[in-house]
Amino acid sequence: MQIIAVNIENTKDIKNIMNLIHDTFLSSNIQDSTEGLIKRMKVLYSPENDYTYTLAHFKKSTLFFVAKEQEEIIGMIRWTKDKIINLYVTQKYQWQWIGHILLETFEQAAKKLWSTIIQLKSSKYALPFYAKNGYIVDHHNRLIKYI
């Protein structure tokens, strides 16, 4: 397994990342999500939608990494300004420390960009994962970690 920075010009990878987010959201998160979030996820990541709309969002990423097994994209993490926007590991590969390695790679890169704090709004599903990785809830109900 390799962690690599995303090449935003690689259309095949961009479409595979969209599929990964879409399918993992359906398998792991949909039961805990509001109607509004489900709608937003469909608009952004449904494979049948025009990918250029999603690409415009992806282009706002300050840091964007994927985990690849051979040529298959099995995980991704994306950060815009000071917030983790997406962290997904495809269901088949979950619980094998890939999420942890993605998060650690990302934290080291964020530190180099002079960030001192990571914040995010976690899915219910991922709360124990973030707790294991040193994230705590602040008084705005966000998850944060000082790095």
Ligand X SMILES: CC(C)(COP(=O)(O)OP(=O)(O)OC[C@H]1O[C@@H](n2cnc3c(N)ncnc32)[C@H](O)[C@@H]1OP(=O)(O)O)[C@@H](O)C(=O)NCCC(=O)NCCS
Binding site for ligand X (CB under 6 A): 24, 28-29, 87-89, 94-100, 120, 122-123, 125-126, 128-129, 132
Q: Give least dist CB 17 to ligand X, A.
A: 13
Query: Closer CB to ligand X, residue 11 or residue 137?
Result: 137
Q: In the complex, what is the shortest distance from the CB of residue 138 to ligand X, in angstroms, rounded to a whole number?
A: 16
| Buried/exposed 32-62: b ≥16 CB within 10 Å, e otherwise | ebeeeeeeebeebbeeeeebeebeeebeebe
Residues 6+ apart with CB under 8 A from 87: 75, 76, 77, 78, 99, 102, 103, 126
Smallest distance from the beta carbon of 12 to ligand X, in angstroms?
21
Q: Nearer Cβ to ligand X, position 47 or 128?
A: 128
